[in-house]
Amino acid sequence: MIRRYVSPYKKYLAGSVLMNILSAVFNIFSFTLIIPVLKIIFQMEENTYSFIPWGTGDFKETLVNNFYWFVSSYMGSHGPVVTLLVLAGVLILMTALKTSCYFGSTAVMVPLRTGIVKDMRLQIYDKILSLPLGFFSQERKGDIIARMSGDVQEVENSITGSLEMILKNPILIIFYIGTLVFISWKLTLFVLVFAPLMMWLMGVIGRNLKKRSTEAQALWSDTMSMVEETLGGLRVIKAFLAEKTMSARFDKVTGAMRAKNTRVATRQALAHPVSEFLGTAMIAIVLCFGGFLIIKDESFIDAPTFIFYMVILYSVIQPIKDLSKAAYNIPKGLASMERIDRILTARNDIRESEGAVEIKEFNDSIRFEHVNFKYEKDGRQILSDIDFEIPKGKTIAIVGASGGGKSTMVDLIPRFYDVESGRITIDGKDIRDYKLASLRSLMGNVNQEPILFNDTIFNNIAFGVEGATEEQVIEAAKIANAHEFILEKEEGYQTNVGDRGCKLSGGQRQRISIARALLKNPPILILDEATAALDTESERAVQEALERLMSNRTTIAIAHRLSTIKDADEIIVVDEGRIVERGRHDELIALGGYYRKLHDMQAL
């Protein structure tokens, strides 16, 4: 799963591999110098060496012989003390090169780790933007936030953090075991009997870590969902004195998450002590076995070489431990990757048909032709046999009780959802045959709850309109009755509106929303109860702005207050997903049906 994110950063992987190989080579060479150093210190060397030409005998014997010939020759010329100092200097140099390469192998992986996390978050964000609204009616916002924050962070810590271990440790293990075989294949064969047993025991301990990590991340999502709900509902919580109830709910969720995380962390904590114990046990067994062979046959291996062998063997233990640690971390990250992939692989049913065409202007009418619609989640029928026409330049109002399907009906026009059966046409062509971007470019929306972003007033008005000038933004604000209150702000059009426009009143937010729609200048306007949440004074200012916005445009207005749509060219009355009445205001009043009932209720 992580492989697709690594591809753009292959050069960093190659650099890390090269640095790790050099680090392993320099490390082995630095340890090799231990043998002549020990022999000089303890005056153990009695053999006389002469140079053997390369390729004339066994490679291992030639290499060892020529190395000792060089050291003994140098000692004969400069004395044992100078030779010892030179060997110590070379040891320091090799160690410096080894640690430099080790640092390089770590540093070169940093852009890869940060790049993968950035790409992953961007991909999730782009996927969220592309998914249809129906997806989010089935998902909790807190859960999506948790996947984008906690799960991605877990992937960085667990998987990308382990990539370095996965690259470095096999290289070190291969080089170290190769050196062990070079020194003594018999002793190494004995060692390799225990290595699989060690890895198997580590696998037994970490077998169900992935499952437990998935459960822990799900509880993290519950926590984030509760936080998101609490922040959105603080007014209600305080009004109903429900602080203790919410605190108890939060304590229950976080308590369950703590218990699950405790079990996961405890199992992870076993990695180091278990590997430490198994490694030490293996060293002790090899020490006894090798010592026994030396005692029985002094020619088997000399003491300094055996010490060198044990140093290399001990060095191979750490990479194996790190590899086992990675084996613990990766399942935890894979559990998070699976949760992320549920978003990335979510199906998007709003697709453009093959051969979809651009629509650059609206010329004739919008028509609903026997449209039916129901949500996939519950299968409940929302709209049944909706059939009517919206001529260009006309204002069509849609009224009815809450939950009757009014908002769903207008959401079908920009294809926030697709019809179950029937079709919607613009200028006689099915909207599914138009390119999605060009279809939505024809429409402007003003909703009951104005949606503003945590940015300046200027940027909120210019939202979605590339290259909007200051003059255009100000003109739109003036028509929307927003210019005066904007100038009263200390920073004018550069005033930040806060989270969802919290620094502005409801009427001010709505007028900013209208100015945004005006700047877009769409031929089709969709108003979803744009004045329903406003007080009388704000409603009057917003209604004036709406009338200017609706001028010379095709308007579809969902209305709760019937007084705002008296002058509509046609009123569509919807009840339980069906059109039950239609006509002008006076005609529907005279009809004495459902619309008259709604009108009389509001008149009381």
pLDDT digits (tens, 9 = 90+) for 463-488: 878 888 888 889 888 888 888 888 98
Q: What is the pLDDT of residue 205?
A: 55
Instruction: Report the distance separating Cα 421 and Cα 385, nearest Å.
Output: 9
pLDDT tens column, 293-316: 777 776 667 777 777 788 888 788
Angle at 227 between CA 226 and CA 232, to 5 degrees: 95
pLDDT for 45 equals 55
Rounded CA separation 565/573 (Å): 12
Lookup: tokens for 240: 């109903």
Q: How far apart are CA 70 and CA 576, in angstroms?
A: 97
Phi, psi of 368 (to 5 degrees): -90, 125
Contact yes or no for 51/331 (Cβ under 8 A): no
Residues with pLDDT less than 70, the chain:
1-3, 36-49, 55-61, 64-65, 137-138, 159-161, 194-221, 232, 235, 267-268, 270-272, 275, 298-300, 324-325, 327-329, 331-332, 377-378, 530-539, 542, 603-604
Strand partners, 578: 575
- 364-385 residues labelled b (16+ CB within 10 A) or e (exposed): ebbbbbebebbeeeeeeebbbe
Residue 269 to residues 157, 211, 272, 293, 321: CA-CA distances in angstroms? 15, 17, 6, 37, 13
- Residue 430: its pLDDT value, please? 92
CA-only gyration radius of the chain, Å: 37
Q: Are 37 and 88 in contact (CB under 8 A)?
A: yes
pLDDT of residue 484: 85
Question: Contact 112/13 with Cβ under 8 angstroms?
Answer: yes
Write the DSSP symbol of residue 353.
P
State residue 387's pLDDT score: 92
Domains of the chain by start residue, with CATH: 1-108 (no CATH), 129-168+182-346 (1.20.1560.10), 365-603 (3.40.50.300)
- pLDDT value, residue 552: 78
**Predicted pLDDT at 339:** 78
The answer for residues whose C-beta is within 8 angstroms of residue 467's C-beta and 6 or more apart is: none
DSSP single-letter state for residue 411: H
